[in-house]
Amino acid sequence: MLGLLLGIHGLPVPNVLYDGIEETFDPIGHVYSNDHHVCVGANTGGTFADLGLALQAEHPETPFYVPAAPFAPFDCTALLGDPVATVVLP
């Protein structure tokens, strides 16, 4: 839905649109984190943006983070954690 709203307003909508909620951000140094380990490093032919939605109300001057590939610090390609259990559909 958010991508649709951006498109209606004429803004380009990236292939991967991340809300960035609960990510650590330093608005003075413009240092972005990847606390939730979102991996888009294999998205080499696409685009990515971290909207930082939770920060926009407090720091409206902060632009969306739209890095070039490989999208650091979101440039990982391996997920953390245990394997996902097999999904069985009814």
* 6, 28, 43, 60, 86 from 33: Cα distances, Å: 24, 14, 18, 18, 31
What's the domain range around 49? 2-56
Q: Is residue 34 part of a domain?
A: yes
State both tokens at 19: 């809300």
| Residues written for the chain | 90
Q: What digits encode the pLDDT tens for the residues 33-78?
A: 888 888 998 888 898 888 887 777 777 766 678 888 888 889 998 8
Give 31's pLDDT tier (boundaries 50, 70, 90). confident
Give 88's pLDDT tier (boundaries 50, 70, 90). very high
Q: Is residue 64 part of a domain?
A: no
Q: Is residue 90 part of a domain?
A: no
Q: What is the model's pLDDT at position 83?
A: 80
Q: Which of 74, 75, 71 is nearest to 33 (CA)?
A: 74
Q: Is residue 76 part of a domain?
A: no
Quote the number of domains for the chain: 1
